[in-house]
Structure 1
Amino acid sequence: MRARPCPKHPTVVHRTQRRRHHMKIGIVGTGNIGKPLAQKLSAAGHDVKVANSRGPEAIEADVLSTGARAVTAEDAVRDVEVLILSIPLNRIPGFAPVLSGLPTDAVVIDTSNYYPSRDERIDAIEAGDVESVWVVEQLGRPVVKAWNAIGSDSLAKKGLPAGSSGRIALPVAADGDAERAVGMALVEDTGFDAYDAGPLAQSWRQQPGAPSYCTDLTRDELPAALAAAEASRLPARRDLAVAAIAERIGGGGANPDAEYGVRLSRALYT
């Protein structure tokens, strides 16, 4: 059975609604997604601190090349307006205690996706829990779901100025309008059109296996892709993509280049 289309929401954040000031941002995770986010957001003028599981001395210089600062995980959550979690999903429960140092009004953005081959089996998600709803339960805090639906190579290389023809659009989901607006403004700052994808309960439409996932769609194409998602088909499609990537480039967590990754995702998910 096809799921009902998601409710209509404004397609992109209005320029007049964007937060005007540069923000204090902590990023935990400097891998495939965390690294380009640190580079892009600090280049956009934000005050960015980054941390990983190995300590600040292990953060490579290119992560810091546009102004981000390497800190410990405990420092990354202190005195920030936004915290971006870009770590494997199965590590989120273990990170939850660190959030005791996070300001109560800080916005938490979740970029993670569930891949059983990497994260091990999470029974609640296997039973149908939406990934970011599960994250909220682990953290005990609201989250914004953003930057999860784009491949790392596209994130690093395909951002364009606002108004550019063919600019990729990314879905942003959250239960609070103010938090979603922050996430959307930051997505715009990384070179992509931000699309209001509604509440977290609908964010399964941007999970792996969905037509909007890593298919590099424009703001005119994205709404139909979100509406076309079928929850029952996502896991099998996701696992097919994992198998195809492993056959092509091997395991070990490597991500495909944008050309192959987008072509594969479009073939399997749409």
Structure 2
Amino acid sequence: MNIGIIGAGQIGSALAVRLTSLGHTVYIANSRGTETLTDLAQKTGATAVTAQEAAQRGTDLIVVTIPLENIPKLPKDLLANVPAEVPVIDTSNYYPMLRDGHIPELETGDLTESGWVQQHLGRPLVKVFNNIFAAHLENNGKPAGTPGRIALPVASDDAAAKQKVMALVEELGFDALDGGTMRESWRQQPGGPIYCNDLPADQVEHHLASLGTERTEAQHAEFLANHNAAEKHMEAQGIKLK
């Protein structure tokens, strides 16, 4: 496939490594210019391009994997000429303390994180790869049927795009599980039991079922509190996301 990746951070770089190793053609962009991607291109075999070129040349799949705070800075017409049948993946996570500042719609629970991104980009998205560490995404894929294989939920309002992305998740070495609609993607956001815990399919399915589909105020408050504590712990360890 021809795959465009917009964002050359940890997740974008990990995907570039894995996807090129599987024989896919990858075009990768960042916000600083193609000249800053020379080393990554040499390491991964991906081609360094601009964000607009990544959107144009990713004719089979596009991945948007940039900090939430930078989503509004993307060109307004970035995906204007991308055919509707091309899945667009969003890997966003909200880190208000360490990176993104406070986004009111995400504080109140009116929108999921990728639902907010979806509004900005103006088309249905697929939420996946947000709840796994980049190093694990790059190195911990296993053949189908391997005991303990990590399962990743895939959420979207576009059923056809979801199926295409689920097939790619399987190809990368993970069990792909239907995470429901974009409105239900809160279940895989930070602060919840599925986030970055590398769980097998039966445990992910259990958590998806036990959480339900409609987020309650109590659940939203619990996720935010858990994530706030995690951010404070990261800050105390000197971890920086900028």
What is the TM-score with the length of structure 2 in the denominator?
Answer: 0.90
Distance 1:29 1:114, change over 3 A: same
Question: In the alignment, what sits opposite 1:29?
Answer: 7
**1:232 counterpart = 2:221:** yes
Match of 1:219 among 182, 186, 201: 201
**1:109 counterpart = 2:69:** no
- 1 or 2 for the larger relative contact order (CA 8 Å, sep ≥6)? 1
**1:200 counterpart = 2:182:** yes
Distance 1:96 1:104, change over 3 A: farther
Matches within 5 A, 1:50-89: 50-79=28-57, 80-89=59-68
Distance 1:65 1:100, change over 3 A: same
Q: Say which SS state the counterpart of residue 132 (structure 2) adopts.
A: coil
Distance 1:210 1:188, change over 3 A: same
Q: Is the 8 A contact 1:36 1:156 kept in 2?
A: yes
Residue 227 of structure 1 deviates from its aligned partner by 3.0
Distance 1:26 1:156, change over 3 A: same
Q: Is the 8 A contact 2:91 2:127 kept in 1?
A: yes
Alignment RMSD: 1.6
Q: Is the 8 A contact 2:14 2:135 kept in 1?
A: no
Q: Which moved more, 1:222-231 or 1:196-205?
A: 222-231
Question: In the alignment, what sits opposite 2:216?
Answer: none
Q: Is the 8 A contact 1:169 1:194 kept in 2?
A: yes
Question: In the alignment, what sits opposite 1:260?
Answer: none
Residue 139 of structure 1 deviates from its aligned partner by 0.9
Residue 43 of structure 1 deviates from its aligned partner by 1.0
Match of 1:124 among 105, 109, 112: 105
Amino acid at match of 1:133: G
Q: Say which SS state the counterpart of residue 49 (structure 1) adopts.
A: strand
Q: Deviations over 1:109-155 (max 9, x none)?
A: 00011111211111111111111111111111000001001112221
Q: Is the 8 A contact 1:42 1:67 kept in 2?
A: yes
**Separation in structure 2 between the aligned mates of residue 60 and residue 120 of structure 1, nearest angstrom:** 31
Amino acid at match of 2:100: D
Matches within 5 A, 1:133-144: 133-144=115-126
**Separation in structure 1 between the aligned mates of residue 23 and residue 6 of structure 2, nearest angstrom:** 19
Q: Is the 8 A contact 2:20 2:45 kept in 1?
A: yes
**Separation in structure 2 between the aligned mates of residue 112 and residue 215 of structure 1, nearest angstrom:** 17
**1:47 counterpart = 2:25:** yes
Q: Is the 8 A contact 2:38 2:48 kept in 1?
A: no
**Separation in structure 1 between the aligned mates of residue 72 and residue 239 of structure 2, nearest angstrom:** 25
Matches within 5 A, 1:142-157: 142-157=124-139
**Separation in structure 2 between the aligned mates of residue 52 and residue 206 of structure 1, nearest angstrom:** 25
Residue 191 of structure 1 deviates from its aligned partner by 1.8
**1:252 counterpart = 2:240:** yes
